[in-house]
A and B are shown apart, each in its own frame.
Chain A
Amino acid sequence: MTSPLIEAQDLRVDLDGRNVLHGVSLAVAPGEIITIVGPNGSGKSSLLRALVGAIPPARGKVVRTPGLRIGYVPQKLSIDPTLPLTVNRFLSLPHRIPPARAAEALEQAGATGLGARQMTQLSGGQFQRVLLARALLGTPQVLMLDEATQGLDQPGAAAFYHRIEEIRRTLGCAIVMVSHDLHVVMAASDRVVCVNGHVCCEGTPEIVASAPEYQALFGTGTKGTLALYRHEHSHHHHHDHPHDHAHDHVPAAAEKTH
């Protein structure tokens, strides 16, 4: 077994003196897709930020492989309108990159041709893809996404996650995402970690979806969609075609909305 890229050991996180997470142990192996789910205020974003290194642990520790390259897509990034910033200039932070490299990353993230635009003039979806492009620049070993599909409609979110799977295939990086789009995300995950102040349950999407802890938090509302998803999944039954899964999934997701 390969050693983990990042490992949280008995992690406790406090924010403004308030405990938000305790007793969390989690290891991220190379190449795996982990989704962290949990209700609002469950500490799932804090867990991601602690893994990134943005919050110091109150207890326990976070061990990162030395020299680990992290690509981080934050939950939100508000750019003050007084800050003039083109997409290309944004991609050159904190390390300057040649224009060709920027164009390549934009293409990879599905934001081709946006390089000369001002960051503040991008739509929500374009902004997310530019954030993703920036995260991809350092050829990350692990990509961390915090509610990356916020503000996207469900087909948009599905397309985004499809892109993430494609990136995992081409770069071979591990992916850790926080999300509330349970059904769409879980379809794409190797492992789901359900968090509510601590790790309630974890495992494959199927295992977590049927776990009583998970159902206590989210009810059985998503069960129908998941059943549908599992149905689709078993029909295809080859894991190397996440593209089809993502597309198959869109109608299911749309049905769920009413």
Chain B
Amino acid sequence: MLDDFLVRAALAGLGVAVAAAPLGVFVVWRRMSYFGEATAHAAVLGVALALGFSLPMMPAILIVALVMARLVSQLAGRGHAMDTLLGVAAHSSLAAGLVAVALLPEVRLDPMGYLFGDILAVTRGDLAVIWGGAALVLALVCWRWQALLTATLSPDLAYASGLDPRREDLILTLSLAIVVAVAIKVVGVLLIGAMLVIPAAAARPLVRTPEAMALGAGLVGAVAALGGLGGAFVLDTPTGPTIVCAAALIFAVTLTLSRLRRG
């Protein structure tokens, strides 16, 4: 069954939906969507490093994403203007990564594959990485769920309950790096942020609890992944962007539904 590239693509898309949902809700609640962008864009630097020094691709991406996420959250904690800082970090890391890839002498690499993903070229090995990463993110977020929610509401409330919100921030940072490494092959660095934010935002009008929103985000992500894959096949369009378009379409539908219901 796994021999069929479409089956592998579908499984990869589902894996990304599962990995992105539990983290995506926190990205939305904490208003850190640009944080996801900056981390994802830094992944191109990871690609360049891996190619330049013949390192394994996934660990290189993971480490660069982790360093970037840590760096940005540390700087933000010291009172720098978050918005500007993230803008600088996101765009310059993407640009530097593209320049670095171009400078590598013996590599003829089309960066498009990393920018927009190449879900149809997913191998069995990629699938193992994607689902392994998804399982890890799920486990991390489920384990710390109550503490993460408390720290998201208010760091002071977390402290008063004997929790350390900085530790919870670290869990999110780590999860974000994993999601980036997992999703790069499926939707590409430019659209990872979209897979974090859009499914969560699409689930929001339909739910009344945080858990329902995370589940809903997973569901929306899964439908978007499969629908986008099918759509790309029929319309002969690039798969990553088509998946994101499908998610955006669902967002528009749930938003309209909730507006109508409210009258």
Contact = CB atoms under 8 A, between A and B. Distances in A.
Interface of A: 16, 49, 52-54, 70-72, 74, 77, 79-80, 82-86, 89-90, 92-96, 118, 144
Given A82-B28, A93-B150, A72 B209 contact: no
Interface residues of B, number: 30
Interface stretch (B58-66, B109-117, B158-166, B241-249): B158-166
A118 B208 contact: yes
B5 interface: no
- Among A70, A79, A85, A96, the one with the most B-chain Cβ atoms within 10 Å of its Cβ is A85
Contact of A74 (B157, B163, B200, B208): B157
Interface string B166-203: 00000000000000000000000000000000001100
Report whether over half of chain A's contact residues are helix, strand or loop; otherwise say mixed.
loop
Contacts of A16: 79
Contact of A84 (B31, B147, B212): B212
Contacts of B8: none
Report whether over half of chain B's contact residues are helix, strand or loop; otherwise say mixed.
helix
B157 A77 contact: yes
Contacts of B163: 94
Contacts of B208: 84, 86, 118
- Among A53, A54, A93, A118, the one with the most B-chain Cβ atoms within 10 Å of its Cβ is A93
B207 A72 contact: no
Contacts of B157: 72, 74, 77, 93
Given A83-B29, A84-B207, A70 B160 contact: yes
A69 to B, nearest CB: 9
A23 to B, nearest CB: 23
B156 A54 contact: yes
B153 A82 contact: no
A54 B147 contact: no
B28 to A, nearest CB: 5
A197 to B, nearest CB: 21
Contacts of A49: 156, 159
19 contacts: A52-B156, A54-B155, A72-B156, A74-B154, A77-B157, A79-B153, A80-B28, A82-B28, A82-B29, A82-B201, A83-B152, A83-B213, A84-B204, A84-B208, A84-B210, A84-B212, A94-B147, A95-B146, A118-B208
B140 interface: no
A49 B201 CA distance: 33
B259 to A, nearest CB: 15
A1 B210 CA distance: 47
B160 A85 contact: no
A70 B156 CA distance: 12
A18 B156 CA distance: 20
Given A82-B204, A94-B161, A118-B208, 10 more contacts: A74-B156, A80-B28, A80-B29, A82-B28, A82-B200, A83-B213, A93-B149, A94-B147, A94-B158, A95-B161
- Among A71, A84, A85, A89, the one with the most B-chain Cβ atoms within 10 Å of its Cβ is A84
A131 to B, nearest CB: 9
Contacts of B146: 92-96
Contact of A77 (B154, B200, B210): B154
B160 A144 contact: yes
Contacts of B201: 82
